[in-house]
Structure formats: C-alpha cells, structure tokens
Amino acid sequence: MQTQNIVKFIESINNLDTKSYSLLKEAIEKRDSIKFVSYLLNNDEIGSNKCCPYCDSRSYNRWGIRSDLQRYKCKECGKTFNTLTGTPLAHLHKKGRWLSYAQCLIEGLSIRKAAAECGVHKNTSFRWRHRFLQNTNKIKPQKLTGVAEVNELIFAWSDKGNKRLKRKSRKRGYKSATQIPFKSRVFTLFCRDRGKNTFDEIYYKFSAYNIKKDLSSLFAKDILFCSQNKAVYMKYTKENCIRHGILSIPKNEKIRKNVVHIQNVLEYQFNLQEWMLRFRGVATKYLHNYLSWYREMDEFDHKITPETILIRAKRPERYNTNHFR
C-alpha cells in the first residue's frame, strides 16, 4: 500500500460512524492477535531447537512465509514444514482466537461457554479443547522425592457422546464408588510428594504388576511410600524394596504433625472432583485430558498464562500413548 493511500485512509477514519469504527477496530485487534500468536509460535524456546518432523534432520533452510508462519525445507528429505507441523495444533484455523480460548481453559469454562466467548462453533470448541490438552498428559514429573503420598480414585466407565452403548443405559449415576460394578470401574492412581509434584495414571485393571510399569523409575531410592493398608501397595513395595509407611488411624482422629499421612493427595483428589463437577460427566476416553488439565492448573497454582498453555500445546508429538493398561 502506497504512502499516499495510507494517509488518505487515516484521514477518512474521522468520517466513520460508530458502527464502521467498531468494525475497523475489531478487524485491527484480530489482526494484531494473529500476528502476536504467530510471533509466539515462531520464536518460542521449542521452536529454536526444531528439527524436521519427517526425518529428524537439523539441516534445513528457510522456505518462505505462509499464514504468518515461517516455513522451512529439509535438506535431507526435501519436505517443507513449519513450526506447527507434527504438533496437535497443526491444521487448526483462526489463530487469532487461540489465546482467548486458552484463557477459557484457565477459567475452566464449558465447551458452549468457551465457544460463545471466542465466537466459534461448539464443535470447534470441543476440538480445540482436546488439541490444546493433548500434550499436557505427557508433561509429568520424572521423579518424586522425600515422602510420596499414594491413593487411588475410582470413576465409573462413561461412554458419554457415544451413540452406541455396549451396556444397558442407566437412568442415574452412582452415588458412591462402592456402588459401581467392578467391571465398570476405572482406577486413577495419584502419587504426590510434599513438594506438590503430582503423577497420575489411569488403569482399567488395578494391580501391583500394572502400577510397577509406571512407578519403577518414578520414585527416588530413599522415598517413603505412604498409602493405605491395601494388598496392591503392600505387594508393590515388598517386591521393589521400598520403604512403606502404612496409614493406620483410629476413627474420628485427625493427623497432627505426623509424617505418615496422605492428606495432601486426598485434598488434591477432593479439589479435582469438585472442579470436574462443572462438566457434568466426562467420557472415559477423554478422562486423561481432564486429569492433565487440572494437574497443569495445580502446577502453576492456577496462575498460568494463555501464552504458556499455547507453547505447551505446541510440543511436537513423536509418539502415541496407551492410557489404559
């Protein structure tokens, strides 16, 4: 655009009515948001250490710009890519509204409320939610130290959203975990140390053999494993030579200045259940996303920024994980 045309355009702004001016302002803000999101995606810490998503080669050249994103061409395989290729955010549109949607995730809004807030369809809101949370499930603590409090939480198997049920439909949900039939139980294991580092994993079958696969490298050598007096934990700690602090408390007695307790993990589970009530039931196949969603909020003490959510969602996806053992 030539300089003379720009000057005429600026002078014509004074002649705009209120509606035209608001439309122009909205368009400028939308463009600024797109530019800012593109800047974040092109210049984050992960993008500076990028490699070819097809052959993992670090030998590439710049290959133009498309949709405000820098493209690259690999010298080894000859394929082109950008900073979103091979990530959960690839092929998603409307980048200018991603930060607004990330703020909706921080506030824990429902799919329809987030869609209304960002001006997108509810199906788009659903897709964005699980794309933004897809990588969060892989961001877990690699090591727990000191005292690890361990406890499990039982959810009922849910086919929410599935039009074809493999069981008879029930009119109401279960009031307590004891009412859930054993075949319909989904076990979620929570391990939380006193530094508020939390590890969680979902199991369809809860046994010492299954939890050993995930916990073998999680605990430090001098860890104190605090849990209830259950056969699964007794067998696991005995086979792996782990110090086991068994919880044994008389009824109606509170813990005061005692090392062996699981109050931190119980508080975490209670807050998680309270937080999940707003969604009115979660499909089991998406349960891991909601667990990682709350774990991310707890990790940043509910002070996470939309920019952080966007950068964490952009991590390259190199493998698929099976969430049920």
- CATH number for 284: 3.30.420.10
Tokens of 221: 């050598």
pLDDT in tens, 59-116: 889 889 888 888 999 998 999 998 888 889 988 999 889 999 999 999 999 999 999 9
Residues 154 and 277 in one domain: yes
For the entire predicted model, the pTM comes to: 0.81
Residue 127 belongs to some domain of the structure:
no
Residue 282 belongs to some domain of the structure:
yes
Residues 67 and 181 in one domain: no
Residues 150 and 282 in one domain: yes
Among residues 49, 65, 85, which one ends one of the domains?
85
Confidence band of 322 (pLDDT split at 50, 70, 90): very low
Q: What is the DSSP letter of 248?
A: -
Residues 273 and 145 in one domain: yes
Residue 232: domain span = 141-159+177-250+257-305
Residues 267 and 155 in one domain: yes
Residues 74 and 195 in one domain: no
Residues 145 and 66 in one domain: no
Q: What percent of the chain has pLDDT over 90?
A: 33
The pLDDT assigned to 15 comes to: 67
The pLDDT assigned to 259 comes to: 78
Query: Order of strands across the sheet with 69-74?
Result: 60-66, 69-74, 80-82
Residues 152 and 78 in one domain: no
How many structural domains does the chain have?
Answer: 2
Q: How far is CA 207 from the centre of its chain?
A: 26
C-alpha to C-alpha distance for 12 and 194, rounded to whole angstroms: 63
Whether 175 shows a pLDDT value over 70: the answer reads no
CB 148 within 8 A of CB 237: no
Nearest of 312, 284, 283, 282 to residue 296 by alpha carbon? 312
The pLDDT assigned to 320 comes to: 38
Query: Order of strands across the sheet with 185-193?
Result: 198-203, 185-193, 147-156, 224-227, 243-246
